Structure 1
């Protein structure tokens, strides 16, 4: 992995992970309703889920890269279409944070698996990696070391983003309960997703 590719990957992941989605919505809803206490098992579950999707994406893309180059073109435009769809859904979403409540859990292990199920059941995560990786990384060059580097980079970015969301939600619980504030966040997220789609389409 080149430093340039790693920086581009980290930047794109930072933008994508920072915009509200099912996992972020659940995290923010948890902090708004109950504070930051007990939220770390959920965060770990989110990170493990993302790591699983990245591993699946790298393995799958690497396996077909040698023979089916045209598949990447189709995947690219499928990813663009999906990001635009997400942008539209976010733009028209109801500004109601109560819909994103975390499942109640009596133990850290249950909370971990609740977060893991949110991440693994979210096609947005898989589509992000499938659409992004072929555009910025030489798939043929990804080996075990490259995979490990991507995982390390992914962890650092997600940790930064998720802990930032947790901190901000904890400090601004009153503000984030406002329907107007949630609507503004949704519109900003929609614009970011549309911009990401445009960036992928022009590569």
Structure 2
């Protein structure tokens, strides 16, 4: 169950650029190290409901319910488009206010949580991915899935923190260049818009 294959596969999956990675990196670049940690935690816990759904087998119900799946998918797409619009709107208006940043840590974490929880494909992914590593004939499949889920979340958190800290370090070199910041903001806005459109248009 707890194999090198599972660790390597999970690491590759987590490191692939997705909404959580993009959100954590953009937060690290525009707000700083501490904010990127909040984003990493939020994105990581945003996967928890999907893991629980998969463990309980409810994702099979979601898979069968086309209406429920479509509603959640479109909500997720709309939220990503909203994030893209907000980032594009703020282009060129980036200001660093440490007190405001401290007050906004919870908001940053919640935003990361929503980005992941509103992606129904995560449930589909986990129900297809995790059972592959449960030993055939296991007498404790729920416990095995729970352990695998916990390890996957830990890997996600560590990788996202790494991404965020790296972005926060790079931020020190670009924060004094309004032109670079503006271009980065627009690039991330386009990325979120593309991910939202992809989610909305993707087949099940």
Which interval holds the TM-score relative to the shorter structure?
0.5 to 0.7
Cα distance in 2 for partners of 1:118, 1:153 equals: 23
Cα distance in 2 for partners of 1:4, 1:68 equals: 25
Asked if 2 retains the 8 angstrom alpha-carbon contact of 1:49 and 1:116, the reply is no
Q: How many aligned residue pairs are there?
A: 177
User: Shift of residue 133 of structure 1?
Assistant: 0.9
RMSD: 3.4
Q: TM-score, normalised by structure 2?
A: 0.66
User: Shift of residue 115 of structure 1?
Assistant: 6.7
Q: TM-score, normalised by structure 1?
A: 0.66
Q: Which runs of 5+ in 2 are unaligned?
A: 1-5, 132-144
User: 1:140-184 CA deviation, whole Å, 9 max, x = no partner?
Assistant: 946213312321331232122111111111233422xx2x33321
CA separation of 1:198/1:104 partners in 2, compared to 1, >3 Å: closer, same or farther? closer
Taking the TM superposition and a 5 Å limit, the aligned residue runs for 1:12-91 are 12=18, 13-18=20-25, 20-21=26-27, 25-27=30-32, 44-60=37-53, 62-63=55-56, 64-69=58-63, 70=65, 71-91=68-88
* Structure 1 consecutive aligned stretches of length 4 or more whose deviation exceeds 6 Å: none
Structure number with larger C-alpha Rg: 2
User: Shift of residue 134 of structure 1?
Assistant: 3.1
Q: Which runs of 5+ in 1 are unaligned?
A: 28-38, 106-110
User: Shift of residue 94 of structure 1?
Assistant: 4.1
